Amino acid sequence: MFLVVLKHCGKWDVVANVFRIKTEAFQKMILSFAEVVSPYLYEKYVVSAVGKFTTEVLVLGGNTFRNYPSARYATDVTFQQSNMPTGQMKERCAYYSAKHHLHDYKVEVSELPNGLALNCTAHYPGSEADIQIFRNNHEFHLQHLLKSSMETELADEGPLTTEHPDSWAVLADKGYQELAADFRAITPFKKQPLRELTLEQVETNDRIAHDRVLVENSFGRLCTLWAMCSDKYRWDGGNYDMFFRACVALTNFHVRILPLRSEDGTNYHNYF
């Protein structure tokens, strides 16, 4: 029943009717089960990936990013439409995304080069800047980008190694450029007003995009498997993180069986 809820989402009464259970009883049963199983799934299939797939393991296994092997993971945010919040205008505006022209939730997800998620944050209002979400999650990033004593012996000729010799890199998009002072963040070049990018800068952007496409592929798999993460979220926002984390964990399990493909990224773009 729980998997059906994640797979099809929709209204409680519609899903409850599939199992011929009264709506209130069905909702209470699913929420009670989710409160127990979601933390377990997240710990087993997401948190465990941190220790199992260290940078050393990925390097020795040839599973690093192709162009930037010094990157520990790639980070980006997901977007999901939500109901317009009740309350005063200020609260409503906080969830409105000017980019997508709708009210939505944002969640930052970090992906290893083998396609497995190793962290996702709590959800944020749609107006929250991506870089601010990253900064709010700085404890995770500082801890998991830090090289272990064994990893300091590994070759590292990537960008920003002089500025951050004790840290692995994180791949991010243009919205994260200001992170370089505090994190070893590899980001694309932005075109300045009245100036074109040089050929070298364009090539650098292409290399970063080639490695970061993994994140879009992962988000595409997540949205394809679980309507809970792709359809408009109409349920209680207080339960969103619980459901989302369960979906991320189950997607990790699915990716271990069936690795990500470019079609997954195409599917993700179809949702926007």
Pair type for strands 102-111 and 117-120: antiparallel
Looking at residue 272, its pLDDT comes to 54
How many C-beta neighbours within 10 Å does residue 91 have? 12
* 78 three-class SS: strand
Looking at residue 10, its pLDDT comes to 82
DSSP helix, strand, coil percent of the chain (3-state; round to 5): 50, 15, 35
68: Cβ–Cβ under 8 A, 6 or more apart, which residues?
A: 158, 159, 169, 171, 186, 207, 208, 211
Looking at residue 268, its pLDDT comes to 64
Question: What are the φ/ψ torsions at residue 146 (nearest 5 degrees)?
Answer: -70, 130
Looking at residue 193, its pLDDT comes to 86
pLDDT tens per residue, the chain (272 residues)?
999 999 998 889 988 998 999 999 999 999 999 999 999 999 999 999 999 999 999 999 999 999 999 999 999 999 998 877 666 666 767 777 767 668 889 999 999 999 999 999 999 998 899 999 999 999 999 999 999 999 999 999 999 999 999 999 999 999 999 998 899 999 999 988 888 999 999 999 999 999 999 999 999 999 999 999 999 998 998 999 999 999 999 999 999 999 988 777 666 666 55
User: Given the structure tokens 């949205």, which residue do they identify?
Assistant: 223
